[in-house]
Copies of this chain bind each other. A is one copy, B any other.
Amino acid sequence: MSKTIILNNRPVGMPTLDNFKFISEEIKSLNKGEIKVQAKYVSVDPYLRGRMSASKSYVAPFEVGKPITSGIVAEVITSENENFAVGDFISGILDWKEEQILTAETLKEIRKVDGSKIPLSAYLGVVGMTGLTAYLGLTQIGKPQKGETLLVSGAAGAVGSIVGQIGKILGLRVVGIAGSDEKVSLLKSEFGYDEGINYNSTEDMQSAIHKACPDGVDIYFDNVGGSISDAVLFSINKFARIIICGAISMYNETSLPTGISVQPFLVKNSALMQGFIVSNYQEKFPEAAKQLGTWLAENKLTYRETIVEGFDNIPQAFLDLFEGKNKGKMIVKV
């Protein structure tokens, strides 16, 4: 038997613990080519909120009564597949189950990971989807040029904390927006940001952004949307690039979010705004992962994790993302 978390019902607005249900599922015996794995680290991410709704997005919605899935690092505990030995670690999009069987078909989407040089949890963060998102979003859409100003929202979060560091490596001036003084000081002390703005204690975000970005904003890496992103529009430069990586402030709105119309700002500045989804850039993963690994090994890149212990706490850890309780990557250690 394996503990499993399924979607109990779809949230309206802010998700709650009631949207999730713990059930116990039998585990069958292995067929040839299959392996059984035990979850070690589970990633919780804001984008999962989108999949909890019924409406089609870039990934199919979760089904009510079926397991939630996310990025998971797991250990092989039984194997009927010669490519996977007991004790190997793997990473991929798996079910929220303590233990589960992976078929030969599923294994095509799975990669082996090595915890000896890089901590296992980092495969869900800095050298996993999070790092790839930061690196590919910034380079593929942002097209950074040395000396430009990069502004990042959700700057102390999983993606934002890495975007800022990569920006510094690439020779940019980097400014971050986060939700507490503690996070803002972390931006500067740990992630190399030149300047930080606490949006919760700042009344006039437009002025604060102007002041923190005296040469204007060339690249805006947007993880939050909403009124913060509206305020940024007043500081964008000609040919600015706005990477829409996430819109966490809008995910739980029950009516259609509205705000300042971006069109006049875009046309006035010949600026670009583009939605970024890392899975569209699969062919660039190997090169990007290698680059991130190199920077990590050279200590040019650091990362922060907020680790929550215990399989039972996965739903609460997910909910905490919307309260900004994480610094860096939120991960559940099973």
A residues within 8 Å of B by Cβ? Answer: 50, 57-58, 222, 225-226, 229, 238, 244-247, 250, 256-277, 280
Contacts of A245 in B (CB 8 A): 267
Q: Name A247's closest neighbour in chain B (CB-CB).
A: B263
In the complex, the count of this chain's copies comes to 2
Verify B263–A244 contact, CB threshold 8 A.
yes
State how many angstroms separate the Cβ of A262 from the closest Cβ of chain B.
6
Additional A-B contact list (6), CB under 8 Å, known A263-B273, A268-B275:
A225-B264, A257-B264, A269-B275, A271-B274, A271-B275, A272-B274
Roughly how many angstroms separate A264 CA and B229 CA in the complex, as a whole number? 12
Q: Name A236's closest neighbour in chain B (CB-CB).
A: B275
12 interchain pairs, CB-CB under 8 A: A225-B263, A246-B267, A250-B261, A257-B260, A257-B261, A258-B258, A259-B259, A263-B273, A267-B276, A270-B274, A271-B274, A272-B275
Verify B266–A270 contact, CB threshold 8 A.
no
Residue of A58, A259, A272, A273 most packed against chain B (CB within 10 A): A273
Roughly how many angstroms separate A96 CA and B267 CA in the complex, as a whole number? 25
Roughly how many angstroms separate A90 CA and B302 CA in the complex, as a whole number? 61
State how many angstroms separate the Cβ of A168 from the closest Cβ of chain B.
25
Verify A267–B277 contact, CB threshold 8 A.
yes
Instruction: Tell me the dominant secondary structure on chain A's binding face.
Output: mixed
Roughly how many angstroms separate A270 CA and B225 CA in the complex, as a whole number? 15
Supposing A261-B250, A267-B246 touch, asked if A273 and B276 sit within 8 A by C-beta, the answer is: no
Verify A276–B272 contact, CB threshold 8 A.
no
Supposing A266-B275, A269-B275, A275-B271 touch, asked if A258 and B260 sit within 8 A by C-beta, the answer is: yes
Name the one of B238, B269, B272 contacting A273, with C-beta atoms under 8 angstroms: B272
Contacts of A258 in B (CB 8 A): 258-261
Verify B264–A261 contact, CB threshold 8 A.
no
State how many angstroms separate the Cβ of A259 from the closest Cβ of chain B.
5
Supposing A269-B275, A276-B267 touch, asked if A261 and B58 sit within 8 A by C-beta, the answer is: no
Verify A266–B261 contact, CB threshold 8 A.
no
Verify A273–B270 contact, CB threshold 8 A.
no
Q: Name A239's closest neighbour in chain B (CB-CB).
A: B280
Name the one of B57, B244, B265 contacting A266, with C-beta atoms under 8 angstroms: B244
Roughly how many angstroms separate A280 CA and B57 CA in the complex, as a whole number? 34
Roughly how many angstroms separate A271 CA and B273 CA in the complex, as a whole number? 8
Contacts of A270 in B (CB 8 A): 58, 274-277, 280
